[in-house]
Amino acid sequence: MLSNIGIPGLILILVLALIIFGPKKLPEIGRAFGQTLKEFKKSTRELTSDVMDEVDDVKKEVKEVTK
């Protein structure tokens, strides 16, 4: 989705954000967005880890049953 924007599109988005939010609010918004992304990635990693643990448990059970 974002791969189709390109450099001119990013510049336009940044200029519009600067006009709408102003230069004082923009760093705060960027920081909040970064923290949100960090938390999302952390949650995704934890969820993936939980699912992989469940898959490993099921594999162990299948191996025990087939012995």
3 band by pLDDT with thresholds 50, 70 and 90: low
pTM for the full predicted model: 0.60
What pLDDT is attached to residue 2?
Answer: 56
The pLDDT tens digits of the residues spanning 9-66 come to 889 988 998 899 888 898 898 899 999 999 999 999 999 999 999 999 999 988 888 8
Candidates 32, 39, 38, 4; CA nearest to 13 is: 4
Residue 42: its pLDDT value, please? 96
Distance CA 38, CA 16 (A): 25
The pLDDT confidence band at residue 1, using thresholds 50, 70 and 90, is low
Give the span between the Cα atoms of 7 and 10, in whole angstroms. Answer: 5
Task: Please list, in sequence order, all residues whose beta carbon lies within 8 angstroms of the beta carbon of residue 26, skipping any fewer than 6 positions away.
Answer: 17, 18
Closest CA to 33 of 47, 14, 53, 50: 14
